Amino acid sequence: MSSIWNNRISFSIFGDSEGAAVGITVSGLPAGEYINTEELTEFMARRNSSIMGDNPHRDRSVPHIMSGIVNERTTGTSLCAFLPNPRVTIKSPDPLMRAGHADYTGAGKRMSFCDILNNNRFVDQITLPICFAGAICGQILQRRGIYTGAHIFSIHKVKDNPFDPVNVNRDAVLSIRKKDFPVINDFKGWLMTEDIRRAAKSGESLGGVIECTAVNVPAGIGAPVFDGLQNNIAQLIFGIPGISGLEFGAGFTAAKMIGSQSSDDYYVNERGYVLTKTNHHGGVMGGISSGMPITLNAAVSPSILPAGANSDPLKISEACSVPKLVPCVEAAVNIALLSHMIDYPDFC
């Protein structure tokens, strides 16, 4: 089933985005881990930027945890949660296949037995369960000193400052999380929002790139060939609607380099750790972490335009889905990291 991801940690997503709730069951989490509900709610609320949303207040719906956590501690049994949808809507049926949407492919997959109106496996509300699982995994990782963070690297033609691929640290990651619009350079963020507003006014939509990093990941996490760390991260990120491309480290830029430029030379720092002077490999080699920051870029396609686009103004939140997907990319990386780290010596 496409709604099940199965690894050392596994999860199953159920429900539809236009229904009363979606939900998730997560298995394989270690027992006894402290989970802060306030931090969990805040992580998920980041999907609704006060700048991008049509409501100036973040949606802080609290997940209904049915099992797996007692007295704010994981029990080691399957964690089941319902995620209520406060904005349930009933739309008039539209027989038209929307351009750029998965209406046609979804109907083909299900031999036309699916409801085109509610073909909700392919829309962004389904990212709520991914954010929930990633927020849980992120808290477990942070208590071991591992932090994952992401920001909007670009929207349309406006670019933010990139993370330092060699020296990015915990403070750089945490400094972005509290921002309503997750960028490093706030002026570039203002330019992005103005670009989005202009696009919305003209009935257009914009795409962009999300940059994500994970710091303090020790060397030796992952596996070669088909169970590599990059493989699992990629599988989860491509489960996020709207993602159209992914690169680690220098990515496609490395194809333009010569060997002496793309190779990362090793050295031993003052604390005895083996590191590299550059980080073109993005913190993962041969499917296994190197001890350098894990860095990746995820490309996001322009939002699906509703009927009447290019003539009628759009809501700001309809014109660009990049901001709401920033925590989703973080969540995907958290899940993949924790899934591999459970096997790491002395992790628990």
Model pLDDT for residues 319-336, shown as the tens digit of each residue: 899 999 999 999 999 999
CA distance linking residue 11 with residue 335, whole number of Å? 10
CA distance linking residue 30 with residue 347, whole number of Å? 10
Residue 264 CA from chain centroid, whole number: 27
DSSP states along 142-166: HTTT-EEEEEEEEETTEEPPPP-TT
Could you read off the pLDDT of 10-21 as tens digits, one per residue?
Answer: 999 988 766 778
Q: How many CB atoms lie within 10 A of CB 35?
A: 18
Which residue in 55, 285, 25 sits closest to 132, CA to CA? 25
Could you read off the pLDDT of 300-319 as tens digits, one per residue?
Answer: 999 876 555 555 677 787 88
Q: What does the mean pLDDT of the chain come to?
A: 86
pLDDT band with cut points at 50, 70 and 90 for residue 104:
low
Given this model, what pLDDT does residue 21 score?
Answer: 81
Could you read off the pLDDT of 269-302 as tens digits, one per residue?
Answer: 999 989 999 999 999 999 999 999 999 999 999 9
The one-letter amino acid code at 183 reads: V
Could you read off the pLDDT of 21-35 as tens digits, one per residue?
Answer: 889 999 999 999 999
CA distance linking residue 157 with residue 225, whole number of Å? 36
Secondary-structure percent of the chain, ordered helix, strand, coil, rounded to 5: 30, 20, 45
CA distance linking residue 104 with residue 278, whole number of Å? 45
SS3 128: helix
Q: Kindly tell me if the per-residue pLDDT of 248 is higher than 60.
A: yes
Q: Specify the residue for token string 């303090």.
A: 216
For each of the domains in the chain, give its residue range(s) and CATH number, in order of start: 4-341 (3.60.150.10)
CA distance linking residue 190 with residue 140, whole number of Å? 34
Given this model, what pLDDT does residue 313 score?
Answer: 78
Q: Specify the residue for token string 């949808």.
A: 85
- Alpha helices (H) along the chain: 37-45, 103-109, 127-142, 170-177, 186-201, 229-237, 259-262, 316-319, 322-341
pLDDT band with cut points at 50, 70 and 90 for residue 126:
confident
Q: Record the tokens describing residue 148, joined without a space.
A: 């994952």
pLDDT band with cut points at 50, 70 and 90 for residue 60:
low
Q: Report the residue count for the chain.
A: 348
Which residue in 133, 126, 135 sits closest to 3, CA to CA? 126
pLDDT band with cut points at 50, 70 and 90 for residue 56:
very low
Where is pLDDT greater, at 117 or 44?
Answer: 44
pLDDT band with cut points at 50, 70 and 90 for residue 121:
very low
Give the whole-number percent of the chain exceeding pLDDT 90.
Answer: 67
pTM, two decimal places: 0.89
Q: Kindly tell me if the per-residue pLDDT of 116 is higher than 90.
A: no
CA distance linking residue 100 with residue 262, whole number of Å? 36
Given this model, what pLDDT does residue 100 score?
Answer: 59
CA distance linking residue 196 with residue 205, whole number of Å? 7
